Amino acid sequence: MSEPLVIVGNGMAAACLVDELTKIALGRYAIAVIGDEPRLAYNRVLLSSVLAGETASHDIELRAASWWRDRGVTLKYGCVATEIDVGRRELKIAGEESIGFSKLVLTTGSSALRLNVPGSDLAGVHTFRDSRDVDILLALAAQKKRVVVVGGGLLGLEAAYGLAKAGSPVTLVHLMDRLMERQLDAPAAALLKMLVERKGIEILLNANTAHIHGESRVEAVELADGRRMEAEAVIFAAGIRPNVALAREAGIAVNRGIVVDDHLQTGTEGVYAIGECAEHRGICYGLVEPAYEQARVLARHLAGDDASYGGSIVATNLKVSGVSVFSAGDFIGADGTESIVLSDVNHGTYKKLVVADGRLTGAVLIGDVGDALWYLELIRSRQPVAPIRAEMMFGRSLAEAA
């Protein structure tokens, strides 16, 4: 008899877990996936491309319905899990019968934060997290609505780019003094700002959103320093919060995320959490690669292997608003490190490599990211770089030929 394994959430981590688990232990578990989004699991990262009109929404599905069927997975989408009864080992689902489990995996992801400012509940205030949000943003862009995007991280930049590309006048406001401050040093962020502004997006830094004005709909956004912008819509892209309510209400230990150990197990026996909802050694990752690494480890653990997760070295390798950006490790350069920098602003290129104790410990690239994965490999492997130091900046082929 297959053991009943229930997965809550039909996002990217869930799809990866089912893929990995059925590759190594097909039939060991009777798997059910309960997800509240009304469609098959899709590649959330590609929502930015859908918004930018570069990919069709139906092309971002991770797996066809037949793929799930072939693996015997019971798929319930458009269904909200409302309660975990840990004692009875049952999951309650809104409007459906409860479902029993022997093992439960929480992959509930995160929700977009809405800033707590006056007017944030007005009609015309939106977020950018799922495909329903994208449909709303595309409708705004089709009507060329004037939009203010709040947040200058990856999501804010992607939202601004997609909306501007589709024809909306866009202003992006960011609280900090530089864009993507968690991934970029000051020169890289300044170059990114210049390249994004060239695409017709207005960017305001040190901009603290204080008030959204309007009778019943958004009419203007006011900053703490008094600056005011007319707007017909506001998109909050100012951070995410892990979805932990289900776990917390079941008495499962929660901090910012659902606390898990190196087996991705929560404080409750047989209940696991992976992806953006999980907190491992104090870290909640907001990127897909750590979610996939956790899914692979958990699949092996559930298959009976001795697998454990020690954390992820986070790298950001993406196109931000049409500009290639890569960042990994210590991208600022801590005390005692050395930085090797190549900067060609007019050409739209910036490269910085951080070296500590003869090893590459961080990198930031804007524009030319062709060698990004090689730099990441060097950072992760902690390989000594002294023999290739002179050529390393110019890429793998030159360094390996030297």
Asked if 371 interacts with ligand FAD (CB under 6 A), we say: no
- Measured from the CB atom, is 48 or 361 closer to ligand FAD? 48
- Measured from the CB atom, is 323 or 399 closer to ligand FAD? 323
Q: Which of 185, 276, 279, 371 binds ligand FAD (CB under 6 A)?
A: 276
Distance between CA atoms of residues 129 and 44, nearest Å: 8
- Measured from the CB atom, is 286 or 333 closer to ligand FAD? 286
Q: Virtual CA dihedral for 161, 189, 12, 313, nearest 10 degrees?
A: 170
Distance between CA atoms of residues 105 and 4, nearest Å: 11
Asked if 107 interacts with ligand FAD (CB under 6 A), we say: yes
Choices 8-16, 201-209, 219-227, 353-361; region in contact with ligand FAD by CB under 6 A: 8-16
- Under a CB-based contact definition with an 8 Å cutoff, are residues 16 and 288 in contact? no
Strand 74-77 relative to strand 81-85: parallel, antiparallel, unpaired?
Answer: unpaired
- Under a CB-based contact definition with an 8 Å cutoff, are residues 327 and 184 in contact? yes
Q: Which of 6, 7, 22, 36 binds ligand FAD (CB under 6 A)?
A: 36
Beta bridge mates, 202: 171
Q: For ligand FAD, what does the binding mask look like between residues 132 and 161, x meaning CB under 6 A? A: ----------------------xx--x---
Choices 61-69, 102-110, 203-211, 323-331; region in contact with ligand FAD by CB under 6 A: 102-110
**Buried-exposed string 205-232: b where 16+ CB fall within 10 A, e elsewhere:** bebebbebebeeebebbbbeeeeebebb
Shortest CA distance to 364 belongs to which of 205, 225, 182?
A: 182
Asked if 183 interacts with ligand FAD (CB under 6 A), we say: no
Q: For ligand FAD, what does the binding mask look like between residues 40 and 59, x meaning CB under 6 A? A: ----xx-xx-----------
**Cα–Cα distances in angstroms (integers) from residue 107 to residues 38, 275, 276, 360, in the given order:** 16, 6, 7, 33
Count of residues that interact with ligand FAD, criterion CB under 6 A: 35
Distance between CA atoms of residues 301 and 116, nearest Å: 41
Choices 28-36, 114-122, 195-203, 303-311; region in contact with ligand FAD by CB under 6 A: 28-36
- Measured from the CB atom, is 48 or 171 closer to ligand FAD? 48
Burial of 94: CB neighbours in 10 Å, binned 0-12, 13-18, 19+ = exposed
Asked if 109 interacts with ligand FAD (CB under 6 A), we say: yes
Please report how close the Cβ of residue 81 comes to ligand FAD at its closest, in angstroms: 4
Please report how close the Cβ of residue 388 comes to ligand FAD at its closest, in angstroms: 28
- Measured from the CB atom, is 11 or 119 closer to ligand FAD? 11
Please report how close the Cβ of residue 17 comes to ligand FAD at its closest, in angstroms: 9
- Under a CB-based contact definition with an 8 Å cutoff, are residues 357 and 317 in contact? no
Q: Scanning residues 291 to 350, which ones bind ligand FAD (CB under 6 A)?
A: 291, 318
Please report how close the Cβ of residue 77 comes to ligand FAD at its closest, in angstroms: 8
Choices 31-39, 265-273, 300-308, 339-347; region in contact with ligand FAD by CB under 6 A: 31-39
Please report how close the Cβ of residue 66 comes to ligand FAD at its closest, in angstroms: 21
- Measured from the CB atom, is 285 or 399 closer to ligand FAD? 285
Reported residue count of the chain is 402
Distance between CA atoms of residues 206 and 401, nearest Å: 46
Q: Which of 31, 32, 33, 37 binds ligand FAD (CB under 6 A)?
A: 37
H-helix or E-strand spanning residue 94: none
Burial of 120: CB neighbours in 10 Å, binned 0-12, 13-18, 19+ = middle
Binding site for ligand FAD (CB under 6 A): 8-14, 34-37, 44-45, 47-48, 80-81, 107-109, 128-129, 154-155, 158, 243, 246, 275-276, 286-289, 291, 318
